[in-house]
Every structure is written in structure tokens, then in C-alpha cells.
Amino acid sequence: MTKNKYDTVDATPVKSFFVDMLTRDIELVDAILDLLDNCVDGILRQKKNSSGATPYEGYEAEIKFDASSFSISDNCGGIPWSLHEYAFRMGKAAENRDSDLPTVGVYGIGMKRAIFKIGRQCLISTKNEEDCYKVEITPEWIEQSDNWKLPVFPVSELSQLPKEDGTTIEIGELHQGIATRFGEDNADFTRELVRKIQTHYAFIMAKGFRVKVNGQRVEPKPTKLIFVETENEQGTDTAIRPYIYDTEIDGVSVFLSVGFTRPIPSQEEINQEQEEKRYSSLDAGWTIICNDRAVLYCDRTELTGWGEAGVPRYHTQFISISGIVEFQCNDASKLPTTTTKRGIDASSSLYLQVKNKMRDGMKVFTNFTNQWKGKGNESKQYIDRGSPLALDEIKTKSSEKLKLNSVRSGLRGKQFMPKLPRPKPEPSSKRRISYTRELEEIETVKEYLLGEQEGSPSRVGEECFDMILEEAR
Ligand SMILES: Nc1ncnc2c1ncn2[C@@H]1O[C@H](COP(=O)(O)OP(=O)(O)O)[C@@H](O)[C@H]1O
Ligand SMILES: [Mg+2]
């Protein structure tokens, strides 16, 4: 029998797809953040039951780059030899997930994508307990379309063994564009990278993790929301405090808080901000954290509910409003994040439900801003009474000081809906005049003032008043 022409078709992956294509979908800075994520995953793998306020204490990563090389070196436990079967492969089979750990790595692509994004040669050296080995990627290997094996060099000489368990990734043969960004004029790139680490790693660094970039320690820059301790208005229970929502759905715990980071801006500040495009606007909006990593930072679009369902569009006047949502789950695939881990999967039903609460909370603060428009100075005194609290401090307050109510409609959970001070209603400068007269007399005055025109008795009264007022003036 002759072979059927329609027997099978070839669907094996092509190496250049991973090397040249996949790397286009991610920004350089985000690719580097993927490498930092792996450090944190390494820590979590090491100490399975890490708890307490600073579980990442003592762990650090150091990033260095120049026009010819890039390296990242950490003491985060190394890549266990037991993971070698998939750590270096592109993509991860479902059975290989660390499903009992709250890691962010899910798709098995971050490390390789970052390497190929940066250069064409790489040496990965890692030590985990008794295993110490190096894996090398060369430009020749990248060219060989059907060789998917990478050479491993075991390290056994005592003098060559690193002191601590950890990993170093050194990349060479940088792509042209990358070499330029890493080279002598790297100030802009360095600023961008440092800022992104400061904001996206704020929660992890607050828990003890340290990052250095070209020798400089990176300081965390967490979002802090104003919290007023004592309810201030006599006789009422209003105070500037964040909105809080707390729940657990299908094994994912969610904690959400939104509030003010600073007093609402004066008109002058709004104008300045718009003209000069200063930095302060960059710190407004929603930050979303999945297993301690900020996957979205200060978003001000519909993605986080701005300009939707009763919430106004973001505008500079809302510069003082920030919110944080934290998702935590040991099974990273349940988190509403995308493959780049630097974005939200907007179609996730979990996220859509939580987004309703984000909007509810946000409205409290957009309403306040609108109510106090033009009275910036007056509202400032209420905001100045508070102190800025980071997310863990807000959590402590929420369990120790605030009374959270159960939410029974829509997504279940507990929430704290703050009551914010309202401006006093303006005393009206108008007063009512009323009196009664004989109908016949009213008719006479009406004919005198209005002629044939229609007019109610009160219209007649008003006309009389206006006429005499004019005369009096
Ligand atoms: N610096 C490191 N320390 C510990 N483990 C690492 C490190 N770099 C990579 N790994 C591990 O190697 C595997 C492959 O990493 P990666 O390509 O980023 O895919 P994933 O999406 O699984 O994180 C993962 O299990 C990751 O945790
Ligand atoms: Mg990873």
C-alpha cells in the first residue's frame, strides 16, 4: 500500500520562534523583572513555610550590566537538579508546577525569554545543596534548529563552589540595541529599571529582599494610604480612611484597599501638573499584586475601573487617589495575571468580580474630590490629620481597629466603607415672603402690571417686588 499523502504534518516547534519572536512581546525591563521573580520563587521553594513579617530577609540579587555583558547573581537557593528536566525547557507541562507554593512562575518561559531578549550567549551557574552545575547556551546552539539539548558542566572542585546556594546568569554577545541601552549612556535605562524595581518589588523588599543595580541598593517605594486615627468631627463618625474589602474565593485570598495618598490638589497644582507633566500623577491609580509581585502599577484606565459604571475617567484632579489589590494563592495559575506576569487578565471572572469592589471603593474618593472641588485648603486639614500607612499596616488596622461589615450581595466578603467629611451646605442668602390679599385686589394689581398676560398670585407678588426694588435702588 502506498503511503497516504495526508498521513501526518510536522508540528515541532522552531527554535527561532522562541529566540526571535517570543522576546518581542516583552519589554526589556519586564524581562529583567522575570529574572528577579525567579529569585523569589527560589526563596519560596527553599523555605516552604516562610511566614512572619520579613520572610525574605537575608536574600538578595545583584544586577550588573555594561555595553558587553549582563549578569544577575543571587543567593536564593539555586535551581535544584530535580528541576533540570524542565527548568531549561521552553514552556512547562502542567504536572511540573510547584502547585503547593505561592510562586509566580507558571509558564516556564521567563528565564529563557529574558536571556534571548538580551543576548546570544549565556552561562547559568547554580548551586543547590549538593548539586552545583553550569548550563551553557551558545550562538551555535541557537542556530542549530533541531538540537534541543544543552550541555551541563558539573562543578565539584571545592575552590570553585560558591559559598551560598544561589544562581548566577551571565549573558554575553548582547544584541545591538540592548548593548546601546546598557552602554555608556545608560542613565535613562537605569532610571527606568530602578524605578520599576522600586515600585513593583516594593512589597517584596519590604519583606526583606534586597536588590542592587550596578552597585546601588534599590530602595522600595510602596503606596501608602492616609489613615486618620480618631474620628474627628464632633457628633459624627467621619474620618479620612481607606475603603477596605477582604475575601477568599476558591482558595485565592483577596485584600483590597483604596484611599488618598495626599491632599486633593488645588486648581493651580492641577494646571501645573498638566503643563509640566510632573511625576506625581505617576503614583496615582491602581496597583495589583499577585503573590507579592506588582503585576500592574498605578493603572488609571478602564482596566481598573476608571471611566466605567459611575466612576469618572481619570483626570489630574484625582491625583491623590490610589488603590492596591492583593491576590494570594499557592496555585499561581488561579491568579488573574497574563504570561508576562506584568499585566492583568482582564477577562478573568475573579478579577471582574473584584473590580466591582474596586469601583465601589474608588467612588467614595472621587465623590469626595468632587464635593470639595475649589475648597482644597479646607479639605486638606482633614487629610493632614492622618498618617500614610503601607498595606500591611492597613491590614493590621483592619483587624484591630475597624469594624468590617459582611457583604451579602454579589461577591461575598467583608468591607469597610469609610465615611468621609462632607463640606457644610452653603447657607442660602434667599428668604421667602408670603402674605394673603383679597382675590379682587390681586386681579386689579395683575391687570395693572401684566395687562392681558396670564399670571398666578405669586407671579403678581414677584412683579410687585421687582418693581419696587428697582425704584428703591
Ligand atoms: N535564580 C533562580 N533561583 C532559583 N530558581 C530559578 C532561578 N532561575 C530560574 N529558576 C527556576 O527555573 C525554572 C524555569 O524558570 P522560568 O523560565 O522563569 O519559568 P517559570 O515560569 O517556571 O518561572 C523555574 O522553576 C524557576 O523557578
Ligand atoms: Mg520564572
Q: What distance in angstroms lies between residue 97's CA and the mean position of ligand 1's atoms?
A: 11
What is d(CA 386, CA 309) in angstroms, rounded to the nearest whole number?
30
Q: Which residues contact 169 (CB under 8 A, 6 or more apart)?
A: 35, 71, 72, 73, 111, 115, 122, 123, 124, 125
Q: What distance in angstroms lies between residue 12's CA and the mean position of ligand 1's atoms?
A: 24
Q: Quick one: pLDDT at residue 113?
A: 92
C-alpha cell at 452: 392681558
Q: What distance in angstroms lies between residue 350's CA and the mean position of ligand 1's atoms?
A: 26
Q: Tell the residue nearest (CA) to atom 24 of ligand 1.
A: 87
- Which residues' Cβ are closer than 6 Å to ligand 1? 34, 38-39, 41-42, 74, 76-79, 83, 87, 92, 105-112, 167
What is d(CA 226, CA 148) in angstroms, rounded to the nearest whole number?
54
Q: Quick one: pLDDT at residue 257?
A: 96
354 sits in which H/E element: helix 349-371
In a 13 Å sphere around the CA of 443, the CA atoms on its Cβ side amount to 3
Write down the pTM of the prediction.
0.78
From the alpha carbon of 92, which atom of ligand 1 is closest? 22
198 exposed, middle or buried (CB, 10 Å; 0-12, 13-18, 19+)?
Answer: middle
Q: Quick one: pLDDT at residue 378?
A: 82
Q: What distance in angstroms lies between residue 460's CA and the mean position of ligand 2's atoms?
A: 81
Could you count the other beta carbons within 10 Å of the beta carbon of residue 163? 7
C-alpha cell at 469: 426694588
Q: What distance in angstroms lies between residue 393's CA and the mean position of ligand 1's atoms?
A: 31
Q: What is the mean pLDDT of each run of 10 residues along the chain (473 residues)?
A: 77 80 84 93 76 85 97 95 85 61 67 94 94 94 88 85 92 95 92 93 91 96 88 68 93 95 83 68 86 88 92 91 92 77 82 93 94 83 89 88 80 89 79 89 90 86 90 86
What is d(CA 261, CA 322) in angstroms, rounded to the nearest whole number?
6
Q: Please, what are the domains in the chain?
A: 15-217 (3.30.565.10), 225-416 (3.30.230), 439-472 (no CATH)
C-alpha cell at 305: 475601573
The three-class DSSP label of residue 399 is helix
Tally the residues of the chain. Answer: 473
387 sits in which H/E element: strand 387-389
What is d(CA 469, CA 473) in angstroms, rounded to the nearest whole number?
6
Q: Which ligand is located closest to the Cα atom of residue 168?
A: 1
Q: What distance in angstroms lies between residue 178's CA and the mean position of ligand 1's atoms?
A: 23
Q: Tell which one of 79, 106, 107, 335 to mutate to probe ligand 1, the residue whose CB is within 8 A of the most ligand atoms.
A: 79
Q: Which residues contact 192 (CB under 8 A, 6 or more apart)?
A: 29
Q: Tell the residue nearest (CA) to atom 1 of ligand 1.
A: 39
Q: Quick one: pLDDT at residue 140?
A: 94
From the alpha carbon of 74, which atom of ligand 1 is closest? 1
From the alpha carbon of 83, which atom of ligand 1 is closest? 25
